[in-house]
Amino acid sequence: MAQKSTKPACFKAYDIRGKVPGELNTDLAYRVGLSTARYLKGQNFVVGRDCRLTSEELCRELTRGLTDAGANVLDIGECGTEMVYYTTFARELDGGVMVTASHNPMDHNGMKLVRDEAKPISGDSGLNEIGTGAIDCDMEPVSTPGKVTREDIQAEYVQYLLGKYKVDTFKPLKVVANGGNGCAGPVVRAIAAALPCEFIHVFDEPDGNFPNGIPNPLLPDNRSATADAVREHGADLGLAWDGDFDRCFFFDEKGDFIEGYYLVGLLAAAALRSNPGGGIVHDPRLLWNTVDIVTAAGGRPIMNKTGHAFIKERMRQEDAEYGGEMSAHHYFRDFAYCDTGMLPWLSVLEEMTVTGKPLSALVAAMQAAYPASGEINRRLDDPAAALDRIEKKYGPEAKGIDQTDGISMDMGAWRFNLRQSNTEPVIRLNVESRADQALMEEKTAEILALLDG
């Protein structure tokens, strides 16, 4: 009996991601194109790519697979993931594929897939089937292949973003913008040209060699360039993006990094001022501040499992105004419920303009009310045993236990969430307290010691 085929190893929970060429190569990219078009039964797709050295060839073969299956392809070239989302919903296409590995190591690449209306395709919503189809697919092309059209949509996209704000009313702030040699730089420059602000552009040339390190500002070691530039230039705000710029990170006027957790509260409050009573979807890792902010603003806090596919699905179900994850993913109802790394910083500039306050003042009360550890990752030989130690230690005293995503325990004056990553072999820890920095730090150290055995 023939062994039943399975999906390729690079097919993960939310997207395709793996080493090139060992796990992802041009042959598989072609097969993904064939399988995607056949699975979605679509006629019109958009493809885009980041600036990684292998992205162009992977995108070329992906496109050939789509057209050999009979689909027409709009190739928008080098771009950010959200530009594929935008093109999919704005042009009413059947689907889209972004070739990107975002913040992964140099020798990796991947793909993010969406169907009509930019709805995500994840493991339980078609990605597994596409992966199986990529292994088993009939390689014979259709008699009349689809056509490829190439178009630069950057100017159109920038106008779309600017149309959501009264940018001529923005305060003339000084802004450091660190593109990290990913794809953000050209788009940020185009937006900046329309704003009454002074921009200091750092590492804004896309370069797949990443001469200044992989663009991942979530890692503390990758923050100094932005922080130093803020201090050197006396800027009002610092911004940094990951490689495909679907995540945006913030630094205040002192150059201090602002945890994404507090940006969720800030952006939720802004969304609810315009749409009182709306739903706000958040993840379970850190939540007390978000729940307080949303409740006080008359909104509906909605906790949901971490991950872009899960957040987007829940936002559609609830018709939520905004969704935020502490990992710097921000989702907007009027952006087809998708995440974007551009709308958040434009919204923060608007908040700073309307309130007349610096970013540090906008988040200070939140930071004092709910000190947080930020996400801490641990690679462990035996994650299950470590989780068992944690449950035995804290479970009997917990006032509440939730398993929406990993395990969360409410200990009264403090709480924590511990979860295994869907994309990496690590355990992730988040701790917060009620207005007690010392307690938060003490409990963080305590849990880490238990995890390390």
From 314, 334, 360, the end of a domain falls on 360
Say yes or no: 290 and 400 in one domain.
no
Say yes or no: 247 and 273 in one domain.
no
What pLDDT, on the 0 to 100 scale, is given for residue 384?
A: 84
Residue ranges making up the domain that contains 42: 16-153
Say yes or no: 131 and 215 in one domain.
no
What pLDDT, on the 0 to 100 scale, is given for residue 424?
A: 66
Number of helices (H), then strands (E), in the chain = 14, 21
Say yes or no: 440 and 402 in one domain.
yes
State the residue for tokens 């023939």. Answer: 2
N- to C-terminal Cα separation, the chain: 46
What pLDDT, on the 0 to 100 scale, is given for residue 6?
A: 84
Please identify every stretch of the chain with a pLDDT value under 70, giving residue numbers as ranges: 1-5, 422-424
- Residue 102 falls in the annotated catalytic set: yes
Distances (CA, A) of 70 to 37, 65, 142, 148, 330: 8, 9, 6, 11, 35
From 308, 331, 360, the end of a domain falls on 360
Say yes or no: 413 and 313 in one domain.
no
What pLDDT, on the 0 to 100 scale, is given for residue 1?
A: 37
Active-site residue identified among 5, 35, 55, 102: 102
What pLDDT, on the 0 to 100 scale, is given for residue 422?
A: 64
> Using CA atoms, how far apart are residues 125 and 417, in angstroms rounded to an integer?
26
- CA nearest to 218, candidates 242, 237, 252: 242
The model's pTM: 0.95
Distances (CA, A) of 27 to 21, 45, 69, 96, 352: 10, 20, 15, 19, 49
Say yes or no: 354 and 380 in one domain.
no
